[in-house]
Structure 1
Amino acid sequence: MKANSRRDNKLAFNEVADVYDGARPGIPHRLVTFLVRIAGLAPGDQVLEVGAGSGQLTRPLRAAGLEVTALEPGDRLRALLARHTADAPGITVTGGFFEDCTAPDGSFAAVVSANAWQWIDPAVSYAKAAGLLRPGGHLALVWNFPIAADWALQRALNEALAGDYPDAVRDPDTHLPGIEARVGEGRAELAASGRFEEPWWQFSTDILTLTPDAYCDLLLSYTNAVVLDDAARADLFHRVRAALTAHGAGSVTMDNVLYAVIARKADQ
């Protein structure tokens, strides 16, 4: 996905670390297994995970047999990550921003990230990743984009939120085309760096079923809700619950669109 030009909120998730930990869906093991195969990774290979959060990608990477250095700048998220991976000797949890990573060049077989790469300045991200990769190493990036599977429900939610909370709107008519445009811009950004070969990429979809409370927690795990004050958050969630009740929705089934892109380091 194209880099976010508003990078001042990249630590906002740390303020709701417990909610983020419980609400954000993990990256499916089947997808990680597929990415490992595409990138030609082998058990014991060293990978650097950027913006590890509380371990949504970290744990399936380790389950695939990889040695993971998990980089997470948020202290609360990092504490949760360390707790979740305490019994996994192949994971090293560390703080700091990717821009400041001091590992020697060529240290990693892959640099990976889930839902975080857009927070890094592209003038830095691709060149630094290429430097940290061994020859033939890969950059592997994943994002997920959940939206209510019942489009009538999503439109009801949109109607309740659009006036005061437009960033919470997910338009079913433009959702996938909008994602495709954003990730296409991201691939163009990657190509413009000149540091990677033509990428492989794919979309897939998982299904999530959430209670109304879990759905509100998921909303809170995204920046547009994190940055609201307490009164605005309470109003947002009141409107969401009212829309769900009016729609007769005792749960929210969501299409969780997953986008993955992998690019091999270019020979220099």
Structure 2
Amino acid sequence: MGKESRSHISNKTWTEVVKDYAGKDLGERKHWYGSVASAYNRVRPRYPQAVIDRVIELAQLPPKAKILELGSGPAIATVPFAQLGFEMLSLEPNREASELAKQNCADYPHVEIQNLAFEEWQLERDRFDAVLAATSWHWIDPAIAYAKSAAALKAQGSLILLWNTPPQLNEETYQIVDAVYETLAPSIPLYARHEGRKNHQADFLKFSELITDSEYFKNVKYESSIHQVVYSLDDYLLLLSTLSPYIALAENSRNHLFTNLQEALHKHQGDRLNLSFISAFHVAHKI
């Protein structure tokens, strides 16, 4: 039942699914993460320092570079860049997330957080050394994202896209909960429950093509790495609650799903779960 019944979901790639995000009304996007902002801040995986260092190297950012960040969330990526002394203007459309970002960046006076969507931001041309988006680029209409980002950049400025896939169970452990999904929430796409690394890599390579095809950026560099993390069972379920397909579920359906996932995983794995995620990036230079 599992593989056959999932075929309608697995045929839809992540790059296809995320079109639904950019297509959402701006008002809806502003409130989307409001109820889970605190959980997002607590359990979303951080970007490995080696990844941060590598993109800074490839983007050839000078000391004190000016960075425009799009969709900062609670400042998960903002903080490691701020710690290196970069001047940052970080835009976050969700009010709750922007307040958390301000708290997390309170020690960095060179960081400004604005509760504003990129679409609403008044363009400041040729000001920034880099435009940064950390697992947020897919929320912006491509017709706006590429052109407006390029216009905000100085000559030779860089576009930096960071990505963390959702930490997921290994194949053996996922099989324990596959039937739970098929019974209670078959609409949850594979990328938000369990998807093979080959599929994730194919999606990231598709983004490389999209950046080049925009004709605003060149010399796209892409790299990825796999990272292991351990989550408590409670934190794993909290992590799932921050992913859009789970947010979209009706509250009763989501609670019922999580109760059954918790029972199945606790029975077979206890309260500690070994997870893995892919951390990837794209770096490209303004044409």
> Which TM class, normalised by the smaller chain length?
over 0.9
Which residues of structure 1 form unaligned runs of 5+?
none
Residues 198 and 138 of structure 1: CA distance in aligned 2, closer, same or farther (over 3 Å): same
Task: Find 1:61's aligned residue among 71, 77, 81.
Answer: 81
Corresponding residue number in structure 2 for 1:29: 49
1:186 paired to 2:200 = no
Distance 1:172 1:237 in 2: 12
Distance in 2 between the 1:70 and 1:34 partners?
A: 21
Match of 2:29 in 1: 10
Say whether 1:265 aligns with 2:276.
no
1:15 deviation in Å? 2.2
Residues 71, 133 of structure 2: 8 Å contact kept: yes
- 1:153 corresponds to: 173
Is the counterpart of residue 223 in structure 1 residue 244 in structure 2? yes
SS class of match (2:113): strand
Q: Which residue of the partner structure matches residue 80 of structure 1?
A: 100
Q: Deviations over 1:202-236 (max 9, x none)?
A: 01122110001000000001111112232112111
Picking from 253, 257, 267, the partner of 1:232 is 253
Alpha-carbon distance in 1 for matches of 2:116, 2:263: 41
Residue of 174, 181, 185 corresponding to 1:165:
185
Q: Distance in 2 between matches of 1:138 and 1:236?
A: 42
Shift of 1:68: 1.0
Cα deviation for residue 30 of structure 1 reads 2.2
The one-letter code matched in structure 2 to 1:249 is G
Q: CA deviation at 1:249?
A: 3.1
SS at match of 2:72: coil
Match of 2:230 in 1: 209
Equivalents in 2 of 1:259, 1:17: separation in Å? 23
> Equivalent residue of 2:269, what SS?
coil
For the aligned residue pairs, the C-alpha RMSD in angstroms reads: 2.0
In 2, Cα distance between equivalents of 1:40 and 1:80 = 30
1:177 deviation in Å? 1.8
**Structure 2, unaligned stretches of length 5 or more?**
1-13
Aligned-partner Cα distance in 1 for 2:196–2:40: 23
* Letter of the structure 1 residue corresponding to residue 283 of structure 2: I
Q: Give the whole-Å Cα distance in 2 for the aligned partners of 1:62 and 1:97.
A: 21
Paired residue secondary structure (1:253): strand
Cα distance, 1:117–1:16 mapped onto 2, change above 3 Å? same
1:200 and 2:221 matched: yes
Count of residue pairs brought into register by the alignment = 266
Does the alignment pair 1:243 with 2:264? yes
CA-CA distance at 1:20 after TM superposition:
1.1
Q: Distance in 1 between matches of 2:57 and 2:226?
A: 19
* 1:100 alignment partner, SS class: coil
